[in-house]
Structure 1
Amino acid sequence: MTRIPGAVAAAAGLVGGYAVARYTKKRPLGGIVLAGAGAVAAKDWKDRAGTPTAAALTGLYTAAFGLSHPLAKKIGAWPSVLAVAGTVAGASYAVADRAGRTPAQGS
């Protein structure tokens, strides 16, 4: 089975979670998407870069979700979600997902 890179899972969780919550008008459903994708990303981060890196990226993912709310008041909802998703995906790529980094290489 093909691995989903942590950067992709994290970005999909932030964008998808918001989209599901917004368009279904059921915030808990968005939360399920956010949490599920976060779990997939965290597993990939741990496998690729070790527990400390996975913990740091998971903290960033959680903080990005929280920070997207006040940011949305300044720049709008979709721009905010896309900004935090891009930030988390970029950080994930930089520290865990870069080409050539495999789970066997660890941290």
Structure 2
Amino acid sequence: MSAGPRPNPEPFSGSLIYWIEVPSDKQHFIQGILDGSDGTGYYQTMTHGWGQRDGGITSLARITSTEDGRGEMEGLLETFAASYGVRLLDEAPGLPPDSQPPSRKAGSKIEPF
């Protein structure tokens, strides 16, 4: 029995998980902004080369935030979308909210989901 699509953002262990598609050349920039926004959210790239959009490669990422920071995070995501091409996914992907990104060791393979 399938649980069906999950919402995005999705609540998990007292946090909100936002699943986003990020142009690969903007990942570190977005992470830097969030690192500098004390307590707003924690960025983590999950899959490099997740898709293609507008002639560029995209990555799947998640931002872990809190319900208290929802308004601020949604404002940041609107800015990221308008300025940097970040896209909030319509629903959570087929990954558990607590999954960890695959190893980037030489020879490791990223499994599609």
- Indicate whether the TM-score tops 0.5: no
Counting strand residues as a fraction of each chain, which structure ranks higher?
2
TM-score by length of 1: 0.31
Counting helix residues as a fraction of each chain, which structure ranks higher?
1
